[in-house]
Amino acid sequence: LVQELRDSCCGPKSQAGASFIPALRQAANVAALPGIVSASLAMPDVHSGYGFCIGNVAAFDMDDPLAVISPGGVGFDINCGVRLIRTNLSEADVGSEDVREKLAEALFKNIPVGVGAGGDIPCTMQELDRLLSNGVDWAIEKGFAWKEDKDHCEEEGRMDTADPKCVSHRAKKRGLKQLGTLGAGNHYAEIQVVDEIYQLEAAKTMGIGKVGQVCIMIHTGSRGLGHQVATDALTVMERAMSRDNIDLNDRQLSCARINSREGKEYLAAMSCAANFAWVNRSCITFLTRKAFSEVFDRTPDDMDMHLVYDVCHNIAKVEKHVVDGVERTLLVHRKGSTRAFPPHHPSIPKDYQSIGQPVLIGGTMGTCSYVLVGTERGMAETFGSTCHGAGRALSRNQSRKTLDHDRVLKQLHDKGISIRVASPKLVMEEAPESYKDVCDVIETCQDAGISEKVVKLRPIAVIKG
């Protein structure tokens, strides 16, 4: 954060003028938006983004006629999120380099990766409207998800505020061929093993209670469809702000009154993109189960390849929260932050009621990831939110300039991590040195009491765009 401030004042980014705004200033700008409740919050992995900083949480009163919804508070990759699949395999089953390489290759062969990559999941334009409305239910109907997967998705994999009529033809066209694709950037499919367990009973409840147990983590979102939904909304909201005399500190915070036509249509379109993302991760899960079956010659069910949970971290959702002793209906924007509801909350699955909502925090390429649970303190202080990852420490351009491709690959090999990547430049951009230390971020959340550690996961193979 301090480096961002330095850069904005006297570093190379100062040359960019208003196009670069440090995260602290972005968080302050969000605090001035109409209808905000309590405060603009920044999670420990905070860094500069578009409009809202990444790691920002802000809630707006649905009953306040001046309150707004902002695409910058969700991001371009709507419902970018993480899911964790467990197995009954142990590290001994995948410990040899030969098996790891076979698994990495099988995943890379089955899951399309890279910018603009197209997939093989069949879907017509007419079917796409049903997908955008029904979310994971569509994937179950088509055989790309197990029925029980739905129970372990945030919102059960479907936002009922979705309306496909509010999604442009261009957005639909971009998404139509991208089902079951990973994309590029920080998206990945990663084979991991349980490395440490901090709360054994909670880990057992999730089915990941053995050190050395093999899991798969998938991190991706709504691909080109979500990006286009955000782009379309920003154009429309410029006109709405002028009409409604909404004055902002930063034009990247383009917004509309929640109950205006533009606000309602963006919420409906964003919900469609969120549903698309859940289906996309479901289709990748289908392809992952297929890849493991090919390598081990066993069925996914036989390998207990059940979904632990699926969370989103770029979203705006209508939720009930107690503020100053009074329950209020709020539109909670989480950009680069994860919902983390406490035990006994009605919105989390029945089998997790006693432990709280699982929270999945992906690390960086070659570093550990975590499974957390939500807390009552987090519910009271952060609208039930926590971090979403490590957060960048270097820009992508800085990473490419300062890090060596071969050295990064050697470090991964020395750690026993197999890797498949479509674009060589991503090796530097996504290297551990490009990010904050995820362990420090997790400990900060633990110390603040907004989430609690359950399991630490260690990577053994990673697939990236």
Q: How many other CB atoms are found less than 10 A from the CB of residue 251?
A: 12
Identify whether the C-beta of residue 283 lies closer than 8 Å to the C-beta of residue 119.
Answer: yes
**Given the structure tokens 């979500």, which residue do they identify?**
226
Q: From CA 465, how far away is CA 462, in angstroms rounded? A: 10
Nearest to 427 by CA among 400, 452, 445: 400
Q: Is 388 a catalytic site residue?
A: yes
Q: How far apart are CA 57 and CA 45, in angstroms?
A: 12
- Of 152, 187, 313, 388, the catalytic one is 388
**Residue of 319, 327, 328 whose CA lies nearest to 384:** 319
Long-range pairs of 144-148 with CB within 8 A, sequence gap ≥ 24: 144/180, 144/279, 144/282, 144/283, 144/286, 145/282, 145/285, 145/286, 146/306, 146/307, 148/306, 148/307
Which tokens hold the place of 126? 């007419």
Q: List the Cα angle 84/89/94 in 5-degree steps.
A: 100
**Which residues are identified as catalytic?**
388
